[in-house]
Amino acid sequence: MKLVYRILFFFLYLLSLLPLRLLYFFSDCLFFPLFYVVKYRRKVVKKQLDECFPEKSMKEKRDIERRFYHFFCDYLMEVIKLFSISKKEMMRRMEFVGLDEVRADLERENKKFCFLYLGHYCNWEYIASLAYWLPEIHCGQIYHRIYNQSFDDLFLKLRGQFGGESILMKDTLRRILTLRGQEKKVMIGFISDQLPKWENMNHWTTFLNHETSFFIGAERIAKQVDAALYYVRVERIRRGYYRASFECMALHPKEYPDYELTDLYSRRLEEQIRQQPGYWLWTHKRWKRTKEDWLKWKESNSEKALR
């Protein structure tokens, strides 16, 4: 595995030394075979677009599909560029606005923790560069281990180069409780639009015309450690340039009923996706586990427990 990792890293690092404008040329070249020849997950994308936007015409959905694949090819090249990108270049391409207001909120409310709700929208890998903008705060992100060990190691290296900490999902609560004892304030990003496993499904809400289950860890842990909660709205300004703005959702999460903050997050993310649908990760099989299947799974497990 180490040999595979080193070969991958060496090849991608050399490729990343090329100017981004040349990498975007490769992106344009990649679009045709990915979209028309390989047809990478096009059935999944088309099915989900049909279900999410029944009100749109076939032409509109086809346009969204093409825009998504163009963006997805750009995203791949932008990730490759991360292997050698400088701090100055990264801060020029990924801008965070509203940080002074967030700092003021944390100081005024005497908050140790700040949790960020994120989605697989625009270039989510660039969000890890937030640590460059907040050197006085311990930044981190929750991540789900990639099945392929070599790629998992590569992405951990890419995300860690900015100074933030990658926290394995299953270790989230334990690590956050440990961080409570350090001097710095802590800011943690939660990409919460992933598909939970059966045992992690606790709450369902309507999202993009589907009954959808979300991870509720951000809300649940925020209440436990009294963390401020923000939604991070990421926009693509132009090719290769992004802006992230912070929208306060709750400074006192305990005041909200269970699941209300998760629902609020889902509504904000849906609103953003509907405005610019081509920037969400449509290749992810978001609804392969339905509420009906979950209820059957739950009933089956209840019967097993009684035996």
Whether 7 has a pLDDT exceeding 70, the answer reads yes
* 60-86 tens-digit pLDDT: 999 999 999 999 999 999 999 999 999
Residue 300 pLDDT: 87
Residue 147 pLDDT: 82
* 169-199 tens-digit pLDDT: 999 999 999 999 888 999 999 999 999 999 9
Burial environment of residue 152 by CB neighbours within 10 A (0 to 12, 13 to 18, 19 or more)? middle
Residue 305 pLDDT: 62
- Which H or E run contains 168? strand 165-168
- Within 10 angstroms of residue 286's Cβ, the number of other Cβ atoms is 21
Copy the structure tokens of residue 202. 């606790």
Whether 162 has a pLDDT exceeding 90, the answer reads yes
The CA-CA-CA angle for residues 63, 41, 141, to 5°, reads: 95
Copy the structure tokens of residue 241. 């340039």
Q: Are strands 241-250 and 137-143 parallel, antiparallel or unpaired?
A: unpaired
Whether 258 has a pLDDT exceeding 80, the answer reads yes
Rounded distance between C-alpha atoms, residue 112 and residue 183, angstroms: 9
* 200-255 tens-digit pLDDT: 999 999 999 999 999 999 999 999 999 999 999 999 999 999 999 999 999 999 99
Return the bridge partners of 143, or none.
Answer: 168
Residue 303 pLDDT: 67
Selected residue with higher pLDDT from 304 and 276: 276
Average pLDDT of every residue of the chain: 95
Sign of the C-alpha dihedral computed for residues 172, 166, 130 and 155 taken in this order: negative
Segment 133-139 mean pLDDT = 96
122: left (phi over 0), alpha (psi -120 to 50) or beta: left
Amino acid at 108: R
Rounded distance between C-alpha atoms, residue 220 and residue 22, angstroms: 44
